[in-house]
Structure 1
């Protein structure tokens, strides 16, 4: 019998993955972990507290789990220490394999501000002696809903992405791919780019917005500094503005354009197009 664990089981990605996993294996074989385990609603599954900022309890939390989906936390810039502690705890607890949700091209020169957290966690797993699978999720298609709506309302799409595209993938597809990988025996020590079915450019997003508006939407390309300034003027905190701009820089450099078949390979169905996700 194999026991499966999912961290962040009350989060957006983790809860979707938990729901799918419970449709495929017996609840008795599932351990769902969260900082707030009382919020987990999963009849028959074991629930445990797991707080990466309190690593002293993680070994006990992970004990008995064979295959662990480690969902990266959302505290960008300060999560690496906790995620390294989770990897160390998984090793001590006797976990066989850890699957980690990362990003495409987690290299030292990737301008996306989330990169150091992912690069460091991947390296910790490589050094741990555990089996590992890296699920390098592209940018979430779901996050483009407000972008398209704002462009449709204003008639202008302001971006710093240049002419390159991103293979936006839905959070639901990422969850399904994660569960497929969790149940697979063929993706040990493998890095998988999890993407949507096409690379979507600024012109493509403007076209989606134009369909809603009923008339053309203009693409306005700006440099990174101007993009940050515009987001700050719109009320976003500086760190959030810089984070979003860094993703645009990564897109412009072509780091998020590659399309793979990982979703279909792991789930048996095609990835969801951006237009369908936003319909």
Structure 2
């Protein structure tokens, strides 16, 4: 297996949750020329004392991208949080990477990205992957499945009402922790070669009925899974105060699960991180206070 720990490595979005985890893993694995990119360098001041170079990096500012990517050999391109504007931002970064002579891009994508209308944020990841491939760069696309942390968001309302609503039609989801996904991304940045695509998943696909049972076990209160159609779920989310655009994204995610796109299980986490992925059961037990607090 190749070892690029002495190459000049850049992590974008390094002050975010995922980026910071990836930086910590890269340091733990011996990266010697690590650069952390962020819109706000002050947030990463502590890393400077640990030998990390911090660069200001704004995906809406091509000048900052040109300077930020200068001298970089390999980059972990973490998808931004600017839903609706990500394709333009990511294309700016890809252009800067190509101009700087970057050799390899590791990109954090999503399951089964495609350009089809009505598929939520999927087209943003699809067109980013297309842009990277079209630039002629070597790449590793890491299609991260749903983070285990997201399951915590629905815990309180489900436990409080005794009902967990979804439109997955019983489809499973291979929940993966953010830490496992970040360690996987760091490992890919250190070792991956060529052009390849990987699904980053947990060890087993979990249905929403099983998730409801986990919530009930943790809280000691009954929680039942209630299956809805996509339109029913959308209406309920909007009635609960969620903006229409976000409701559409969440419904599209459930429909993808119903179509089987989220039930894929791979060994990618272990391949790149050297560790078996944490199960959703273990994750929820470790975060029990967040479920019942």
The bucket for the TM-score relative to the shorter chain is: over 0.9
Q: Which runs of no fewer than 5 residues in structure 2 stay unpaired?
A: 1-5, 286-293
Aligned counterpart for 1:246 among listed residues 242, 246, 252: 252
Aligned counterpart for 1:16 among listed residues 21, 27, 33: 21
User: 1:127-184, CA deviations, whole angstroms, 9 ceiling, x for partnerless residues?
Assistant: 1111111011001110101213322222111111111111111110010000111111
Matches within 5 A, 1:20-169: 20-27=25-32, 29-40=33-44, 41-42=46-47, 43=49, 44-109=51-116, 111-169=118-176
Provide the aligned length of Structure 1 versus Structure 2: 277
Conservation of the 8 A alpha-carbon contact between 1:55 and 1:82: no
Give the equivalent residue in structure 1 for 2:205.
199
Q: Which runs of no fewer than 5 residues in structure 1 stay unpaired?
A: none
TM-score (norm 1): 0.95
How far apart in 2 are the matches of 1:194 and 1:276? 18
C-alpha displacement at 1:215, in angstroms? 4.7
Conservation of the 8 A alpha-carbon contact between 1:67 and 1:97: yes
Label 1:188 to 1:258 Cα distance change in 2 as closer, same or farther (>3 A): same
C-alpha displacement at 1:111, in angstroms? 4.8
C-alpha displacement at 1:79, in angstroms? 1.1
Conservation of the 8 A alpha-carbon contact between 1:111 and 1:250: no
How far apart in 2 are the matches of 1:158 and 1:26? 44
Say what the alpha-carbon RMSD is for the aligned residues.
1.5
C-alpha displacement at 1:14, in angstroms? 0.7
Conservation of the 8 A alpha-carbon contact between 2:116 and 2:123: no
How far apart in 1 are the matches of 2:186 and 2:63? 27
